[in-house]
Structure 1
Amino acid sequence: MRVASSTLYQQGLASMNYQQGALMHIQQQLGTGRSILTPSDDPVGATRALGVSQAQAVNGQYATSRNQANIALAAEENALDSVTTITQNIHTLLVQAGNGTMSDADRGSLATALEGLYNQLLSLANSDDGNGQFLFGGTRSGSAPFTQSAGASTYIGDNGQQLLQVDVARQMPAGNTGREVFMSVTGGAGYVVKGNPANTGTATFGTVSTTDPSHPLYGHALQMSFTANAAGQMEYTITDTSTGATPAPVVAGPVIYNSPAHVDVAGFSFNVTGNPKAGDTLTMQPASEAGTDMFANLQTVIDTLRQPTAADNDRANLGNVLSTAMRQFSNSLDNVLTVRASVGSRMNELDALDDVGTNRDLTYSQTLSGLQDLDYAKAITEYYQRQVALQGAQQSFMQIQGMNLFKYL
């Protein structure tokens, strides 16, 4: 069989090109430290490495979301800490305002001090995170959640929560709405008693205590009405106003009133002292229905403190307003502390998820290392083998090139 010279040249060139290409491939692997330079090097390994890389990138995004959530929650915690202090200061001033030796001017000064706390509270309710995003606006974080007009503050945010995907199966609220913080009470807040500003008598009520939350009427709104019987004695009747029926169904009474009167009804109790007049009323409502807006409750106290107390019924009305406000702000403080506990719990959870995410990222890195990282000992050995093979191909080509009869002429 005759082999053409061109065939010998082509085969020699192809052999050298192949060996040189293989040598360059090993050089690239040594230079990058990777065993897979192209998917064709290891199709299965390349596919697995791609999947692990994507999972690691997603895990990194979870870490970014956790960092954002931590920043938002830390800002909220700082604001809630100040809200707690202001609420405690309000409660202290309310107790001070109940001092019977204070004059109208003294109470006016307290009203001014409370007005300053009102403005501080409103400022905190409109706190932002430093980037123009308001903390308590819900999903409407681009504008201030509370507005003030004609002495009243209105919540214009929404009840939505900004959820961040902080882990594979965990979406976490990055904050709380203004309604949750400043216009809510806890589920166990109990009852709030209120006096009627139109009362002409001097009846005042004391601290409300829960006695039996399992009572069938517990949670119903009630009203205590005073009337004079045929003998001229004052008596009271308690009706259930939550039914909406007219007349409201009677729960207790009529009962002869003697000061102090201990009222135990519907699973809660309180004392009433003073001398009511016929037509006077007291309302008893679950805390969630008795005014949960901290701003409205504080404004009521400020307005009342600025009114003169010339008559006994004025002083009784002031005492009832202060008693109601102290109970309301005690409930508000409990609610703020509950929200703070929720914020702290979420921050602790983020720390735990960070630890899990760090360990997961380490696992991904180890898996990728096993799939992609180069075995240097094996690669260097192959490098020298390819180098010898290239040299052999080159020398073989030189010898074949020398197979020419013309040199013997």
Structure 2
Amino acid sequence: MQIGTSLFFDRTSAQMTNLSAQTSTLNTQIATGKKLTAPSQDVVAYNRLASIKQADADQSAYSSNISLAKSLLEQSDSTLTAVSTQLQRASELTIRANTGTLNDDDRKTIATELNSILDDLVSLANTSDARGQPLFGAATGTAAVTQAADGTVSLGGTGELPAIPVGDGTSVSATDSAERVFGNIKTKAGGKTDVFAILSSYITALDAGGDVSTASSDAIDGLGAAQTQVNNVQGSVGARAARLDIVSSQATDAATARESDRTGLEDTDLSAAITELQKQMTILSATQASFTKLSSLSLFTYLR
């Protein structure tokens, strides 16, 4: 088979151009640490990288939400512990006030302390969270509870605040409304009341003097129910915090897997790239040397 001079030059030139392009690409990959520099190099890999980057961006937002939710739940837990302590003290005072050996003045003294506990509970109910919003806020209303000039306490709103998204299709309720924590306490008559009304009513009975046995019985039952409700909410808070730990751990594992995928798709294997570069440069150098030698040959060289 005969190869014309023109074809020889064209093929050799194309080979050297291709080798030069490969060495240039390898140099770029080594210098940047990235083996993909354009979508055209590997469309499938570039699409996968785009998905990974979007997932990382989404997870960054979810991670911020997880941190916020954890903070709110931790604050709720500590605040509910303080509420539980106040309710326990109120129950102790109520039982003591029901003792037959106490007189009206003694009970008024207890009423004063119970009134202080009531104020403390109002303050705890209106605790602000890390965002400056009511920790026990509701879907409607701003302040968790309001206290009128005459001491009457009212819940500020109804309904629970929306859950916080912490993952694809996963949300966690980071707060509880004042209604859930302090309200909806069943009465003997079948109705519902709140802890503030229970304490206010009992304080009024103690201040009035006389037989407080019925009022004490009602207050003891009401405060016991309130204590149980707060404990249940606090247990729910703990369960949600544990769930967040699981979600956070799963997100970390997923991020690690994505990073491994990204590295395999995008990052340059420096050892392999340097070895390949040396190989291509050797071939290019040999091709250039051969081309120089062969292109200088002519018929006269053989006739001399």
TM range (shorter): 0.7 to 0.9
Who is 2:302 aligned against?
Answer: none
2:146 is equivalent to residue 147 of structure 1: yes
TM-score between the two structures when normalised by the length of structure 1: 0.64
Higher helix content, 1 or 2: 2
Displacement of 1:60: 3.6
1:268 alignment counterpart:
none
Cα deviation, residue 132, structure 1? 0.9
Query: What's the C-alpha RMSD, in Å, of the aligned pairs?
Result: 2.8
Percent pairwise identity: 28
Q: How does 1:5-404 map to 2 (within 5 A)?
A: 19-139=19-139, 143-149=142-148, 150-185=150-185, 192=188, 285-286=189-190, 289=191, 291-309=192-210, 315=211, 318-391=212-285
CA change 1:138–1:396 in 2 (3 A) is: farther
CA contact (8 A) 2:107 2:209 kept: no
Deviation at 1:17, TM superposition (A): 6.2
The 1:358/1:130 distance shift into structure 2, 3 A limit, reads: closer
2:79 and 2:140 mapped to 1: Cα distance?
Answer: 18
**1:364 deviation in Å?**
1.6
**Cα contact 1:184–1:335 (8 A) shared by 2:** no
* Conservation of the 8 A alpha-carbon contact between 1:62 and 1:165: yes
Compute the displacement of 1:54 (Å): 2.0
Q: Which residue of 2 aligns with 1:208?
A: none
Flag the structure with higher strand content.
1
Letter in 2 for 1:145: A
Q: Distance in 2 between matches of 1:346 and 1:300?
A: 34
The whole-number CA distance in structure 2 between the counterparts of 1:40 and 1:94 is: 79
Cα drift, residue 329 of structure 1: 0.7
Contact in 2 for aligned 1:23/1:387 (Cα 8 Å):
yes
Deviation at 1:395, TM superposition (A): 5.2
Question: Which residue of 2 is the match for residue 275 of structure 1?
Answer: none
Q: Which of structures 1 and 2 has the bigger CA Rg? A: 1
Q: 1:110 to 1:29 in 2, by over 3 A?
A: same
**Shift in Å at residue 391 of structure 1?**
3.7
Residue 146 of structure 2: SS of its match in structure 1? Answer: strand
Normalising by structure 2, we get a TM-score of 0.85
Q: Rate the CA distance shift 1:2–1:366 in 2: closer, same or farther, 3 A.
A: closer
The answer for unaligned runs of 5 or more in structure 2 is 298-304
Q: What is the deviation of 1:346?
A: 0.5
Measured after TM superposition, the shift of residue 390 of structure 1 is 4.6
Contact 1:292 1:332 in 2 (8 A): no
Q: Which consecutive unaligned segments of at least 5 residues does structure 1 have?
A: 193-284, 310-314, 404-409
